[in-house]
């Protein structure tokens, strides 16, 4: 006799009643077969949650059947090995692979100490006003220096001999032709004649320079009579002996005194030497004598800055007496140690002042900077010195005392801005 069958409420299949009875309660018959009940619980337990968990245990440690809310005793022993019901897919437990850590990036330790934040520096209003004031005074000093240089032009140079030549006078044509003195050397193309360049000199005197027969005592005769303070030559008085007029030549000492009287300073010597050097260069086929004579002129200029002119003039007389008309270019360029020692040994030299040590002129009374307070001095950064003194007042910018504002006992506490003292007119 076949067993009585019953229709399952879930799978809609007819199965024997043994499939609807539980193991513990044989007298109870359920409306769903054991296969459908077992398959519904497995499907519910194996469904993935809406949000994936952060960590997933391996399948060996998590069994969907054992973690069911129902007690394990309610399930029959044979149902654990039962196959899933047709129509219900068997869901295998999924294994979640943990994400791999990137190897290229350095691992940052969570316990690394955080570096402290750098300290913040604030600029106060007093510092801002002091910086603006220093910049204003610096620009004011630069503008004042430029105006001072423009107002005081450089010292005018000595007028050249060419500028002091009197204008040529046009003479009326003489009735008879007068023979002009022949030049010492023929004029070259583009070259001026010596007589035209120096009209106060005679041709015979110019020839003596060209022929290198001029003595040092005749050097004052090269002076232009129109020069201010030009030396005057005193002609020796003739002496009548037995009806004959004889001119007695001066002695060496008298000639030296006359030379120093005619050439009282280096400025006069420089003018005379330039005329001599120019005329001497006309007759030289090479440039060596001109260079050597120019070197001697510079040597005399250096001596005049250190020693008295009387000593320098005696040295010039001694050197020129031994070299004029005799020495060549190399001899003029040589330094004579014996003559230098005989004239300047034991003579106290003067202290020369250079342009670098020239002190700055005192500020005028109408300089507006004299009534201002030096902000740089209050900040401890004033650039004034003995050679370049500061023209502003070195007083406290807060109280007007004789101390910088940094050490002032009282300051303006309202806004931190220094209190300027009242300026006097």
Q: Domain limits of the chain?
A: 1-35, 127-143+363-425, 212-350
Write the CA distances from 294 to 267, 281, 300, integer angstroms: 15, 11, 10
Q: What is the pLDDT of residue 229?
A: 66
**316 by DSSP, 3-state: which?**
helix
Q: What is the pLDDT of residue 317?
A: 92
Q: Report d(CA 11, CA 31) in Å as an integer.
A: 11
Residue with tokens 């030379």: 259
- Asked if 206 and 199 count as a contact pair (C-beta separation under 8 A), the reply is no
Q: What is the pLDDT of residue 143?
A: 83
The CA dihedral of 112, 114, 115, 119, to the nearest 10 degrees, is -170
Q: What is the pLDDT of residue 316?
A: 92
Cβ-in-10-Å burial (0-12, 13-18, 19+) of 327 comes to middle
pLDDT in tens, 263-301: 889 999 998 999 888 888 877 766 778 888 888 999 999
Q: Report d(CA 267, CA 301) in Å as an integer.
A: 9
Q: What is the pLDDT of residue 20?
A: 80
Q: What is the pLDDT of residue 213?
A: 87
Q: What is the pLDDT of residue 12?
A: 83
Q: Report d(CA 356, CA 87) in Å as an integer.
A: 113
Cβ-in-10-Å burial (0-12, 13-18, 19+) of 374 comes to buried
Q: Which residues of the chain have pLDDT under 50?
A: 1, 41-92, 94, 97, 101-102, 104-106, 108, 110, 155-167, 178-179, 181-182, 184, 187, 189-192, 354-360, 413-416, 418, 422-425
Residues 112-143 as b or e (16 or more Cβ within 10 Å = b): eeeeeeeeeeeeeeeeebbeebbeebeeebee
Q: Report d(CA 66, CA 80) in Å as an integer.
A: 11
Q: What is the pLDDT of residue 312?
A: 92
Render 79-140 in DSSP notation, one character per residue. GGGPPPPTTSPPPPPP-PPPPPPPSSSPPPPTTPPPPPPPPP----HHHHHHHHHHHHHHHH
Q: In sequence order, which residues have a C-beta less than 8 Å from that of residue 250 and are 6 or more positions away?
A: 236, 258
Helices 309-323 and 337-344 pack at an angle, to 10 degrees, of 150
Comparing CA positions, the residue from 387, 386, 391 lying closest to residue 368 is: 391
Helices 252-262 and 309-323 pack at an angle, to 10 degrees, of 120
pTM above 0.85, yes or no: no
Q: Report d(CA 169, CA 35) in Å as an integer.
A: 151
């Amino acid at each position: 006799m076949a067993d009585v069958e019953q229709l399952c409420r879930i799978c809609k299949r007819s199965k024997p009643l043994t499939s609807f009875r539980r193991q513990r309660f044989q007298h109870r018959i359920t409306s769903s077969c054991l296969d459908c009940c077992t398959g519904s619980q497995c499907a519910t337990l194996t469904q993935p949650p809406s949000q994936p968990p952060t960590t997933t245990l391996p399948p060996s440690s998590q069994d969907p059947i054992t973690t069911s809310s129902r007690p394990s005793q309610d399930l029959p022993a044979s149902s654990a090995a039962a196959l899933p019901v047709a129509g219900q897919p068997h869901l295998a437990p999924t294994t979640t692979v943990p994400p791999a850590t990137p190897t290229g990036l350095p691992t940052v330790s969570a316990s690394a100490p955080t570096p402290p934040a750098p300290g913040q520096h604030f600029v106060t209003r007093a510092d801002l006003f002091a910086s603006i004031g220093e910049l204003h005074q610096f620009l004011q000093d630069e503008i004042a220096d430029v105006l001072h240089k423009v107002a005081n032009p450089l010292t005018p140079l000595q007028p050249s001999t060419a500028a002091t030549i009197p204008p040529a006078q046009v003479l009326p044509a003489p009735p008879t032709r007068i023979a002009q003195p022949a030049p010492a050397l023929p004029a070259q193309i583009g070259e001026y004649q010596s007589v035209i360049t120096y009209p106060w000199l005679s041709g015979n005197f110019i020839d003596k320079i060209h022929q290198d027969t001029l003595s040092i005592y005749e050097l004052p005769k090269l002076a232009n009579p129109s020069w201010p303070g030009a030396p005057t030559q005193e002609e020796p008085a003739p002496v009548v002996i037995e009806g004959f007029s004889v001119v007695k030549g001066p002695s060496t000492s008298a000639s030296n005194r006359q030379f120093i009287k005619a050439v009282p300073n280096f400025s006069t010597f420089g003018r005379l030497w330039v005329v001599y050097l120019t005329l001497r260069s006309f007759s030289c086929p090479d440039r060596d004598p001109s260079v050597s004579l120019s070197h001697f002129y510079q040597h005399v200029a250096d001596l005049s800055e250190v020693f008295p002119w009387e000593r320098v003039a005696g040295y010039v007389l001694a050197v020129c007496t031994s070299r004029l008309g005799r020495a060549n270019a190399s001899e003029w360029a040589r330094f004579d140690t014996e003559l230098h020692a005989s004239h300047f040994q034991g003579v106290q030299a003067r202290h020369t002042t250079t342009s670098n040590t020239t002190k700055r002129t005192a500020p005028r009374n109408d300089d507006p900077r004299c009534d201002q307070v030096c902000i740089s001095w209050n900040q401890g950064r004033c650039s004034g010195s003995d050679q370049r003194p500061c023209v502003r007042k070195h007083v406290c910018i807060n109280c007007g005392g004789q101390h910088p504002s940094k050490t002032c006992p009282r300051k303006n506490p309202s806004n931190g801005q220094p209190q300027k003292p009242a300026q006097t007119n």
